Amino acid sequence: MSGLSLKCGDCGAHLRTVEEAQEHAELTNHSNFVESTEAVLNLICASCAKPCRSKTESELHTKRTGHAEFVDRTAESSKPIDLEAPKAVPVESTEEGALGETSQSGEMAVPEVNKSLLEELESMGFPLARATRALHYSGNSSIEAGINWVIEHENDPDIDEMPMVPINMKIEDAKPALTPDEIKIKAHELRERARKKKEEEEKKMEREREKERIRIGKELLEAKRIEEDNERKRIIALRKAEKEEEKRAREKIRQRLEEDKAERRRRLGLPPQDPEVSKPAVAPVVQEKKSMLPTKPATKAERMRDCLRALKHNHKEEDAKVKRAFQTLLTYVGNVAKNPDEEKFRKVRLNNASFQERVGSMKGGIEFLEFCGFEKIEGGAFLFLPRDKVDMAVLNIAGSELNSAIANPFFGVL
């Protein structure tokens, strides 16, 4: 069976003639063409008679115009391909003759359009192929319809290609031509209409984007609130555990004192002390004016929190430096907690320029490290945390308080 098309071996495109293959090669630099027995599709739109060469092209046309019915005339237009190169068209060929030429198959030709409308479009600066395509696909009805079609399809890849239709198609008579002034007014109105339509679409998209930003912002705020609630619950649980630990420690100390006292009485040969007798005499009740606020010793976490509040209050006009100081302190504490055996993380040179800029110059920064267990050595030249004094519980409390101070925007305000 003789070949019905030329197939590009590089991209798989099917081409009707050698001339199309040459144009394809110039555009894409593809040079691997073979003869194929598969014909190029010829799908004619039943609504506007636009020819489509492939399923993809017909789907794009349907998506753009809404036309879904096509007539398959592939069998009618398929002819054995002529492998001889086409002869060049003489330069003297008239424009009208070019419009009347038929395709190589003899069944497709450039559509006839109203010449006066075509001249008016060309006078407005539209190329011949674009003006012809606009008049043909807009129904060859008016300048307004043609310009409107050009504005809507100016991004089409084939906008400047001459349209081809079956040779037996006829074009209806066009409406009377408009004057040049009317053409300019119509063109201006159409452009304004297209501009307003585009602005409305952009405003609508901006509203949708704003709604999306608001939704995301609400989700972030809710996530932050949940995280802060969880952090507060964790801190409360940590403080409760600290109080229980202190209570157990006091009870152990009391029991040890009782045991030491009983041991001393045994060595001295004294009888064991009666628990009832050992109780101290009840002192007379003295009516005193009591303070409205209960007094209790401050815990390690409270002292650290007060230190950070004082640091922020002392530098309340320097929020960036305060936040950097908190982050630097968190780094020091985190390094010790992760690497307690590394001495370089447990020793800080006080006259170090970076340390002085970030922490040393901030009133309260060195005091916070001392609450974590650091001690001044070598005449106050270094801060050092001995290995046997590394308390993971204290470091965890310090890290928690620093994280709270960094994350809470209202920390230290009141």
CA distance 350 to 382: 5
User: Which ranges of 48-141 would DSSP assign to H, the alpha helix?
Assistant: 55-65, 74-77, 95-99, 115-123, 128-137
pLDDT (tens digit per residue) in 39-79: 778 888 888 888 887 788 888 888 888 888 888 887 777 77
Cβ-based burial of 158 (10 A; exposed 0-12, middle 13-18, buried ≥19):
exposed
The residue ranges of every structural domain in the chain are 1-83, 206-270, 300-407
Higher pLDDT, 387 or 91: 387
Mean pLDDT on 216-239 = 92
CB of 55 within 8 A of CB of 44?
Answer: no
Confidence grade of residue 94 (pLDDT, cut at 50, 70, 90):
very low
Pairing of strands 43-45, 51-52: antiparallel
CA distance 77 to 5: 12
What are residue 108's phi and psi, to 5 degrees?
-125, 145
CB of 57 within 8 A of CB of 23?
Answer: no
pLDDT, residue 82, reads 66
Confidence grade of residue 232 (pLDDT, cut at 50, 70, 90):
very high
Higher pLDDT, 183 or 362: 362
Cβ-based burial of 268 (10 A; exposed 0-12, middle 13-18, buried ≥19):
exposed
pLDDT, residue 298, reads 64
Looking at residue 192, its amino acid is: E
Q: How far is CA 280 from the centre of its chain?
A: 73
pLDDT, residue 93, reads 42
CA distance 112 to 135: 9
Mean pLDDT on 165-194 = 66
Mean pLDDT on 365-380 = 88
Confidence grade of residue 137 (pLDDT, cut at 50, 70, 90):
confident
Mean pLDDT on 319-334 = 90
Query: Is pLDDT of 296 > 50?
Result: no
- CB atoms < 10 A from the CB of 323, how many? 13
Looking at residue 185, its amino acid is: I
pLDDT (tens digit per residue) in 237-287: 999 998 998 899 999 999 999 898 888 888 887 777 766 555 555 555 445
Q: At CA 108, angle to CA 69 and CA 118, rounded to 5? A: 90
Percent of the chain at pLDDT exceeding 90 = 16
Please name the residues in contact with 301: beta carbons below 8 A apart, sequence gap of 6 or more. 235, 238, 239, 242, 397, 400, 401
Higher pLDDT, 93 or 365: 365
Lowest-confidence pick of 117-121, 283-287, 299-303:
283-287
Confidence grade of residue 216 (pLDDT, cut at 50, 70, 90):
very high
CB of 3 within 8 A of CB of 36?
Answer: yes
Which CATH class for the 300-407 domain? mainly alpha
pLDDT, residue 225, reads 92
> With left for phi above 0 and alpha for psi between -120 and 50, is residue 125 left, alpha or beta?
left
When computed from its CA atoms, the radius of gyration of the chain, rounded to whole angstroms, is: 45
pTM: 0.31
Most distant CA atoms of the chain, gap in Å: 141
Give the orientation angle of helix 300-314 with respect to helix 319-338, to 10 degrees. Answer: 150
CB of 72 within 8 A of CB of 51?
Answer: no
Query: Is pLDDT of 233 > 90?
Result: yes
Task: Name the 3-class secondary structure at 372.
Answer: coil
Task: Name the 3-class secondary structure at 156.
Answer: coil
Is the sign of the CA dihedral 345, 347, 353, 358 positive or negative?
Answer: positive
Question: What are the angstrom distances between the C-alpha of 163 and each of 121, 139, 144?
Answer: 16, 13, 20
State the DSSP code for 3: -
Distance linking the first and last C-alpha atoms of the chain: 93
Torsion angle, alpha carbons of 279, 284, 287, 290, to 10: -20
With tokens 């739109």, the residue in question is 45
Q: What is the mean pLDDT of the chain?
A: 79
Confidence grade of residue 198 (pLDDT, cut at 50, 70, 90):
confident
CB of 305 within 8 A of CB of 299?
Answer: no
pLDDT, residue 44, reads 87
Q: Which helix (H) or strand (E) is 312 found in, with range?
A: helix 300-314
CA distance 320 to 318: 6
Lowest-confidence pick of 84-93, 145-154, 247-256, 316-325:
84-93
pLDDT (tens digit per residue) in 13-45: 777 777 778 877 877 777 777 877 777 788 888
pLDDT, residue 97, reads 43
